[in-house]
Amino acid sequence: MDRLEAEAFVRQFHREQPGAGDAERRVREVRSEIDRTGGYEHTAEELAFGARVAWRNAARCIGRLYWRSLVVRDLRHVTAADDIAAHCFAHLRQAGNGGRIRPVISVFAPDRPGRPAPRIVNDQLVRYAGHRAPDGRWTGDPRGAPLSERAVDLGWKRNDDRFQVLPLMVEERPGVRPEWYELPDDAVLEVALRHPDHAWFAELGLRWYAVPAISDMVLEIGGVRYPAAPFNGWYMGTEIGARNLADAERYDLLPVVADRLGLNRSSERTLWRDRALVELNVAVLHSFQEAGVTMADHHTESERFLRHIDRESRLGRATPADWSWIVPPVSGSATPVFHRYYDPVDPSLRPAFVPRTS
C-alpha cells in the first residue's frame, strides 16, 4: 500500500468536501491503519466521493457532466459469488429504473494484503453471445465470442438467437473456476429497434440492451483497489448505431440496411455506407425515445461535455480527455467537441477506473 497515495486522496477528499472534518487527523488514522494492517478502509463518504471522482477523471467518457449524480452502492461486505450475482441483477434493475436510466456503481470487496477479492469475468453485466458457424458466418455478436466459449465450457447452453444474453460469471478468487448465472428477464431492459419512416426496419428483428454496465475495470481510490465495481451511465446513440450494430467486426449491418434502402453499393463513391449509417442511427434514437428509455444523441452530448469542461475550469480543475473517444463516430466535425484540443491524459491520475491485469 502506497502511503503517499492514500494521504493524497484523504487530503483531496477533505479539500473538496467542506465540513468533512479534520484532514490531518484522518491522515494520521490512515497512516496508523496502514502500518498496522498493510492497508486501510475507506469511510462510506470517502468511497462515494472516490467513485464519483473516478468517473470525473475518465478521459474516454463524454458524459461526465453528470458525475455528481452517480448512485454508489456500498457492497464491500459482499464476497460470495451467489450474493455478488444477486446484487449485480439488483444493480441492473435499479439502473434501468423503468427506462429512466440512472448512473449506478456497485462496489464490492477490495483486494487486501494476501487476500485478493472476487472478480466479475464479464466485461459488461449485459453482453450478447456470439459464435462462428463451421461455414464461417457469425451468429450474434463477435465481441461476445470469448465469453461465450468460456460460458459454454462452464456448462451454459447457447442457442441461435442473435441477441442471446450471456450469463454472468463470477470468480470468488482469481484463478478459481467461475460460477455462472443466467440473468433474470426483469433485470435486462431491452429495446426493439424500428425506424420512423421505414416499416421494413422492424422486420430485421434488431434490439439492444439499455444499461451499458462496465464490469471488468478496477476502481482505484487512494491506493485501494476494488476489482469488482460494475458501473453504468446511459448510452449515446452512436455507441449502438455506429459501432455495435455497424462495425464490420460486430453485427456488420450496413450492407443489410443499404440493400433494404435500395442504395447503390457498386462503388464507395456512392457513400452508401454513410447513408445507411445515418438511417441506422435514426432508428436507434427513435426506438429508445418511443420506448421511453434514456439515450443521448451525439450533438446534445457534445454540447454538454463542453459545459462540463467550462464548469470544471471555473473550479480550477483540468478535464483530461482522449480526443479519439470524445469525438463521436458519426458527423464528428459537425459537433463542437471536434474543433478543439483537450487537457492531456495523465495515466497516474487517481481516483480512476483502470484496466484489470489479474
Active-site positions read: 61, 64, 234, 239
Is there a contact between 250 and 243 (Cβ–Cβ < 8 Å)?
Answer: yes
* Residues 183/127/212/319 CA torsion (nearest 10 deg): 140
DSSP state string for 13-59: HHHHSTTS--HHHHHHHHHHHHHHHSS----HHHHHHHHHHHHHT-T
Instruction: Tell me how many helices (H) and strands (E) the chain has.
Output: 10, 14
3-state DSSP assignment of residue 181:
strand
- In angstroms, the CA 120 to CA 114 distance is 19
Residues 6+ apart with CB under 8 A from 327: 335, 337, 338
Task: Tell me which DSSP letter residue 266 carries.
Answer: S
Produce one character per residue of 340-350: b if its CB has 16 or more CB atoms within 10 Å, e if not. Answer: eebeeeeeeeb
Is there a contact between 169 and 147 (Cβ–Cβ < 8 Å)?
Answer: yes
All three cell numbers of 240, joined, read 449502438
Which class for 354: exposed (0-12), middle (13-18), buried (19 or more C-beta within 10 A)?
A: middle
All three cell numbers of 241, joined, read 448505431
- In angstroms, the CA 219 to CA 207 distance is 30
